[in-house]
Amino acid sequence: MKFDKPATTNPIDQLRIVGKPTRRIDGGLKTTGTAPYAYERHDAVKNPAYGVIVGSAIAKGRIVSMDQAAASASPGVLAIVTSRNAGKLGKGEKNTAKLLGGPEIDHYHQAVAIVVAETFEQARDAAMLLRIGYETQEGRFDLAAAKDAAPLTRKTEQTGPPLSKVGDFDAAFAAAPVQIDATYTTPDQSHSMMEPHATIAAWHGEQLTLWTSNQMIAWGVGDVAKTLGIAKKNVRLVSPFIGGGFGGKLFVRSDELMAALAAKAVGRPVKVALARPMIPNNTTHRPATIQRIRIGTDKNGRITAIAHESWSGNLPGGEPETAVNQTRLLYAGANRLSSMRLAELDLPEGNAMRAPGEASGMMALEIAIDEAAEKAGIDPVEFRILNDTQVDPEKPERPFSQRQLVKCLRLGAQRFGWNKRNPKPAQLRDGQWLVGLGMAAAFRNNLLTKSAARVKLDRHGIVTVETDMTDIGTGSYTIIAQTAAETMGVTLDRVVVHLGDSDFPVSSGSGGQFGANNSTSGVYAACMKLREAIAKKAGIAPADARFADGRVSAGARAMSLAEAAGANGLVAEDGIEYGKLDKTYQ
């Protein structure tokens, strides 16, 4: 289905099921401990071995020796896989660092070996017996020290242009009667979702299956295949439930690669979970930033000049923390400057983590906006309203498709009793506590990406949806079921949803805040195609067909969905594709 013009009336607008309070259909599985997470797939394989990954003990350098004798002789040990016996490995398109280090070491805790044994405890104990000799090298770890030499980053689809200029910022800022010029810093940050990165790997001849915790199934298939040097058709990823991802599971990590290598080495399935101390440095983290923001306003508080410059660091080939991108769109101002510079550092990979760019960039921007409002003598809510924009500030010919920031600000101010606030700090006490009331705006751009699904209707009138979309705890199962139920005119209990399997059509995946709108749009497209097949079976023109109460009808003609499906059922597959609306509208 091509979506290339603004939406009009469609079956979702009925809102019989969509938009109504609904019990999550995965809730029962999760509250009873029966949701099948990766490491606990007891149904998937028999007699698995266990692998424990060993991470580098240095941050930069090379391995010069590895004594495996004691570890190999330890009870239950089946194999030890390192770069010396792993075979030739590539690097996935989404990976910045190699997932298996050695002899060169790129960062601290880079995986350098996996010890495989009959039990987890045996593998863990043997891993502690590996004796690895290192030769350290001088590394670059301090962003502040590397800042002045950091070049502008390269332009990518994800980051946008490294340098953006509109008007004459320098002249406008110099002439502004109200000015602020401040530098803000954020530290390197990491996180730990409830479910660790975990994988079970099994080979059947040339076919590799990974039961894993991964947000983006199609990306994962491609990068596993590229890293191992095998055909994509020989890789299957299964990830129906994910115990939190937040960007940290967007890409293939060492647990997936090392489980695959270990399973190959021992000729049986292998289970691997990253130990908690390994996760911050062996996956992705949010890089530190240094951000300079300058804002100039006229005497009435209107922004006439705004600049946001950011520095961050990453491994060679990595991308920056996109801290300036929200400033490019959130507030008006005729004269603008923004830039991103990237220093090469020998720290673990910096990449997507819980609102990449927004978290660090919005913090700095909103503090600066508050400081500008105070200097201009204007209430911070009113200052933001005064500087609202209904068009892309860098491309005024491109309006926002929808932007209700002012409405949000006014509603928030009303609900929070903003007019009763004392703007002077340290005036309100609650016992020993000083109590303040503040506010900030936040913004994330909408992202559109293709997404597909397969929808089946069986002889009992049951609708089954299959798509490789994942559920990272955010409710994908339920919203996809709601979409299918609404579109097909059935109740929620007549819909079955299967997710997270690379055997299913490729969806948007879960990430970038684009999963819900894109994956449900793909399901909608497939359902509309199925509706056409049902209407044809019922002898009804698709444009006239009404789907409700498990039936299709038009005028006096009606047929149950079960009857339309017949003994063999009906299947439809389609996806959502977007035209150039995002070029016309922001």
CA separation for the pair 464, 236 (Å, rounded): 21
Contact status, residue 326 vs residue 365, Cβ threshold 8 Å: yes
Task: Output the CA–CA distances (angstroms, integers) from residue 75 to 265, 275, 572, in the order listed.
Answer: 18, 21, 53
- pLDDT over threshold 90, residue 519: yes
Q: Which of 498, 392, 480, 383 is nearest to 441 (CA)?
A: 383
E strand or H helix at 63: strand 61-67
Full strand arrangement of the beta sheet holding 463-466: 2-3, 570-578, 451-457, 463-466, 495-498
Q: What is the DSSP letter of 135?
A: E
Place 352 in a pLDDT band, splitting at 50, 70 and 90.
Answer: very high
Contacts of 573 (CB under 8 A, 6+ apart): 452, 453, 454, 455, 505, 526, 529
Task: For residue 456, list its beta bridge partners.
Answer: 464, 571
The region of weakest confidence among 291-300, 352-361, 496-505 is: 352-361
Query: Residue 429: helix, strand or coil by DSSP?
Result: strand
- pLDDT over threshold 90, residue 171: yes
The arrangement of secondary structure in 38-137+192-282, i.e. its CATH architecture, is 2-Layer Sandwich (3.30)
Place 324 in a pLDDT band, splitting at 50, 70 and 90.
Answer: very high
- pLDDT over threshold 90, residue 157: no
Place 452 in a pLDDT band, splitting at 50, 70 and 90.
Answer: very high
Contacts of 407 (CB under 8 A, 6+ apart): none
Residue 249 has which token pair? Answer: 């599971």
Task: Output the CA–CA distances (angstroms, integers) from residue 102 to 57, 64, 266, 345, in the order listed.
Answer: 12, 9, 21, 19
- DSSP E strands: which ranges in 68-140? 77-82, 104-105, 111-117, 131-136
Do domains 2-34+447-584 and 38-137+192-282 share one topology? The answer is yes
Return the CATH fold of 2-34+447-584: Aldehyde Oxidoreductase; domain 4 (3.30.365)
CA separation for the pair 533, 305 (Å, rounded): 57
Q: Which of 562, 582, 453, 461 is nearest to 518 (CA)?
A: 453
Element counts in the chain: helices (H) and strands (E): 16, 27
Write down the domain spans for the chain: 2-34+447-584, 38-137+192-282, 143-190+285-434
The stretch 549-578 carries a mean pLDDT of 97
The pLDDT of residue 445 is 86
Residue 57 has which token pair? Answer: 């003990």
Amino acid in position 507: S
Pairing status of strand 570-578 against strand 2-3: parallel
Q: What is the DSSP letter of 65?
A: E
Contact status, residue 359 vs residue 323, Cβ threshold 8 Å: no
311 vs 8 pLDDT, higher one: 311
Q: What is the DSSP letter of 489?
A: T
Percent of residues, the chain, with pLDDT higher than 70: 100
The pLDDT of residue 416 is 93
Q: What is the DSSP letter of 292?
A: E
Place 582 in a pLDDT band, splitting at 50, 70 and 90.
Answer: confident
pTM of the prediction? 0.96
Query: Residue 370: helix, strand or coil by DSSP?
Result: helix
CA separation for the pair 233, 221 (Å, rounded): 9
DSSP string, 316-369: TT-----TTTTHHHHS--SEEEEEEEEEE-SSSPB---SSTTHHHHHHHHHHHH
E strand or H helix at 77: strand 77-82
Burial tier of 513 (Cβ tally within 10 Å: 0-12, 13-18, 19+): middle
The pLDDT of residue 7 is 81
- pLDDT over threshold 90, residue 446: no
- pLDDT over threshold 90, residue 5: no
The pLDDT of residue 6 is 79
Amino acid in position 489: G
Render pLDDT for 273-288 as a digit per residue (tens, 0 to 9).
999 999 999 999 999 9
- pLDDT over threshold 90, residue 323: yes
The arrangement of secondary structure in 143-190+285-434, i.e. its CATH architecture, is 2-Layer Sandwich (3.30)
The pLDDT of residue 535 is 98
Residue 340 has which token pair? Answer: 């991103």
**Residue 281 — φ and ψ, nearest 5°?**
-105, -15
Q: Which of 278, 223, 220 is nearest to 52 (CA)?
A: 278
On average, the pLDDT of the chain sits at 96
Q: Which of 110, 124, 133 is nearest to 55 (CA)?
A: 110
Pairing status of strand 303-314 against strand 289-297: antiparallel
Burial tier of 190 (Cβ tally within 10 Å: 0-12, 13-18, 19+): middle
CA separation for the pair 200, 181 (Å, rounded): 52
Task: Output the CA–CA distances (angstroms, integers) from residue 553 to 489, 537, 538, 541, in the order listed.
Answer: 11, 12, 8, 10
The pLDDT of residue 341 is 98
- pLDDT over threshold 90, residue 61: yes
The pLDDT of residue 203 is 98
Task: Output the CA–CA distances (angstroms, integers) from residue 249 to 98, 282, 539, 579, in the order listed.
Answer: 16, 12, 47, 29
Render pLDDT for 207-264 as a digit per residue (tens, 0 to 9).
999 999 999 999 999 999 999 999 999 999 999 999 999 999 999 999 999 999 999 9
The pLDDT of residue 425 is 86
The stretch 164-180 carries a mean pLDDT of 98
The pLDDT of residue 581 is 84
Place 91 in a pLDDT band, splitting at 50, 70 and 90.
Answer: very high
Percent of residues, the chain, with pLDDT higher than 90: 94
Place 175 in a pLDDT band, splitting at 50, 70 and 90.
Answer: very high
Task: For residue 572, list its beta bridge partners.
Answer: 455
The pLDDT of residue 531 is 98
Alpha helices in 176-318 (DSSP H): 217-228, 254-266, 279-282
Residue 102 has which token pair? Answer: 């050695």
- pLDDT over threshold 90, residue 583: no
- pLDDT over threshold 90, residue 540: yes
